[in-house]
Chain A
C-alpha cells in the first residue's frame, strides 16, 4: 500500500519535473526541449537520488555505522580531488576517463577513512562521521588551496554545489552507469547484509570478507564519482534516506534496498522541483535545497534515536 503510494508520487513528481521549466512546451520546439533537456534531466535526477541513497546504505552496512555516507567519509571530497587533478593536468580526457580517475581517488580516500576509523577507540558511534566530515574538510581545503592558486575557485564551486541545470542530451549518458552499479549492489545485497554483521560472522558463513568489502567500497566510490561528474555534490542524501527506511523496514538489504532506491529518487526529485520553482524562472542549485532539508532531517535523526522496544530511555 505504502509502496504503491510512493510509486504514484514518484510518477507524479517525474511528470512535474518534465513539465517545469522556462521553455514553452506548447510550441514547435516542444519535442526538442523534451528530448534534449527535460527528459534527460528527470532521468539524471532520479538516478542520482537512487544511487546516492544506495551508496549510503551500502556504506552504512560495510562501516557498521548509521551515520556514514559518501559526504561524511571524505569519499566525495577525494573524488573531487581526483576530478580536479585530472581537469588541471589532463584537460583533454574524456568524461569517462575523468570519472574513472575520480573513482580511483574516491576509493583511495575511502580506504584512508576506513584505516582512520579502525584506529578509533569506538566510544561513541557519532565519532565515525565526525572524523569523516573532518577528513573530508581537510581534503576539501587542500583542493581549495590549489584551486585558489590556479584561479579555478569558480569551477570548483560548480562541482561543490550539486546542480542539474547543465544536464543535457549528450552530456548526461554516463549516469546510466549508476543504474548498472545499483543493479550490481542489489545482486550482491545478501552478501553485504552478512558482512554488515561483522567479520567473524561473515567468515563463519564462508564469505570472503575482504573481497566483499572491497567490492562494496568500489561500488560506493564509483557511484560517488559518477554523480559528482554529472551533477556535483548532493550532501546527506545517502544518510537520511536509509535511516528513514531502516526505521520503517529494518536492515535486511534485500528487502530494504528497493525502498531506499525509491525514496532516494523521490526525495531528490522533490528537491529538484522545489529548487526550480522557488525563484522561477531562475534555478537554485539542488545542493543548497538538499543541504537545508537534509541537515534539518539529520539533526532530527541524531536527536531522536530509534526507540528500542520495551526499553525506556
Chain B
C-alpha cells in the first residue's frame, strides 16, 4: 500500500468499479439497450471528471497553493458570462445559423484570452497575500455570475431561456453534438499537462527555484493557463459549473498519493475524480433516486473541505 504506484492502481480500480456500477446497477433491459440509455451520461462524466482534475492540479501548482482552484477563481462562471455575452452581442437568430462548432471554438478562444489576462493582472504584479487572492477570486466568481444573470435578463425571454438551460450543473441533459468534439479537444491540453509533469514538480519549489533549475517560468505559466482555460471551458459547456469539485478531488489526490510528484498526483486526481463523479452518480441515481442532486452534494462537501483547509492552513 505504501508505494505510490500501488495506491494509484487501487484508485484506478475504484474508478473502473464506479463506471461498471453505473452501467450495471438496476439494469432491467439487455446490455446493449442499457448501453444506449446510459452511455452518453457515462461518457460525459468520463470527459468532465479528468478535465476538472487535471486543470485543478495544474492551477494549484502554478499558484503555489492548495485552496485556490479555477472554479473558486470563477473561471467557469467567466465562461458562462462569455457565452451570454456572445448571445447578447450576436443575437440568438444569428447564432442559430452559425456552425455550433465555430461558435464553440470562438468561445473557447475568448476564454483563453480572458483567463490569461485576468491571471496576469492578479498574479503578475507584486506578490499578494494568499487569502486576499482567494477572496478576490470568490468575489470575481460572484461578479461573473451576477453579470451573466444581468445580461440574460436584458435579453429577450426566448434567448434568456436558451442561455439559462446551460447554467445549472446537470448530467441529465447532455448535448450529444458537443460530447464527441469535447473528447477530441480535451486530449491535447491533457497530454500537454502530462508531458510537463516533471516541470511542474520543479515549479513546486517556487518561482525563483524553478527558474534556477532552468524552467522558462513565464512561458510555462502562460502555456499551462491556456490548457487550463480549455479544460475549464469544456466541462462547463457540457454540464455547467461545479464550483468545489476540483478542490475536493485535488486535495484528496495529494492526500492519497503520498507524494508530491505530478506523475502520480495527476493520474490519481483523475481516478478519484472519475470515482466520485461516476460512482456518486451511480449511487444517487440507482440507490436513492436523486439523479440530479449530485452537484448540490458536491457543493456542500466541497464547502466543508474548503473551510477545513483554510483553518488548517491558517494554523501553520
Contacts and interface: CB of A to CB of B under 8 A. Distances in A.
B147 A130 contact: no
Contacts of B146: 287-288, 291-292, 295
Contact of B310 (A134, A279, A295): A134
Given A127-B131, A291-B149, A120 B314 contact: yes
Interface string A288-312: 1101100110110011000000000
Contacts of A141: 296, 299-300, 303
A124 B307 contact: no
A127 B150 CA distance: 29
A246 B307 CA distance: 29
Contacts of B290: 148-149
B294 to A, nearest CB: 11
B9 to A, nearest CB: 34
Contacts of A289: 150
A284 B150 contact: yes
| A124, A135, A285, A289 — most chain B CB neighbours (10 Å) | A124
Interface in B112-130: 129-130
Contact of A126 (B132, B296, B299, B311): B132
A138 B303 contact: yes
Contact of A138 (B129, B293, B304): B304
Contacts of A258: none
B300 A292 contact: no
Contacts of B297: 145
Interface stretch (B23-31, B137-145, B189-197, B219-227): B137-145
B314 A292 contact: no
A137 B314 CA distance: 20
A296 B143 contact: yes
Given A121-B315, A127-B310, A134-B306, A299 B153 contact: no
Contacts of A302: 132, 135-136, 139
A302 B136 CA distance: 7
A25 interface: no
Contacts of B132: 124, 126, 302
A299 B314 contact: no
Nearest to A303: B136
B44 to A, nearest CB: 21
Nearest to B155: A279
A127 B300 contact: no
B311 A119 contact: yes
Contacts of A119: 311
A288 B148 CA distance: 9
A235 B142 contact: yes
A216 interface: no
A144 B296 contact: yes
Given A137-B299, A278-B154, A130 B310 contact: yes
B174 interface: no
B8 to A, nearest CB: 31
B134 interface: yes
A131 interface: yes
Interface residues of B, number: 34
A3 to B, nearest CB: 30
Contacts of A288: 146, 149-150, 153
Contacts of B149: 285, 288, 291
Interface in A231-260: 235
A292 B131 contact: no
Given A130-B138, A135-B307, A298-B139, A142 B131 contact: no
A65 B136 CA distance: 16
B143 A299 contact: yes
A123 B142 CA distance: 25
B135 A129 contact: yes
B142 A291 contact: yes
A133 interface: yes
Contacts of A127: 131, 310, 314
A295 B153 contact: no
A275 to B, nearest CB: 9
Interface string A222-235: 00000000000001
Nearest to A293: B146
Contacts of A137: 299, 303
Most buried by A among B136, B145, B314: B314
B145 A145 contact: no
Given A292-B143, A292-B147, A131 B310 contact: yes
Contacts of B314: 120-124, 127
A133 B136 contact: no
* Nearest 3 A/B pairs, CB to CB: A291-B146, A295-B143, A138-B303
Given A295-B142, A302-B136, 14 more contacts: A121-B314, A126-B134, A130-B134, A133-B138, A138-B307, A141-B303, A148-B296, A149-B290, A278-B154, A285-B153, A288-B146, A291-B149, A295-B143, A299-B139
23 contacts: A120-B311, A121-B315, A122-B314, A124-B314, A134-B306, A135-B303, A137-B303, A138-B300, A138-B307, A141-B303, A145-B297, A282-B153, A285-B149, A285-B153, A288-B149, A288-B150, A291-B142, A291-B149, A291-B150, A295-B139, A298-B139, A299-B136, A302-B132
Interface of B: 129-132, 134-136, 138-140, 142-143, 145-147, 149-150, 153-154, 290, 292-293, 296-297, 299-300, 303-304, 306-307, 310-311, 314-315
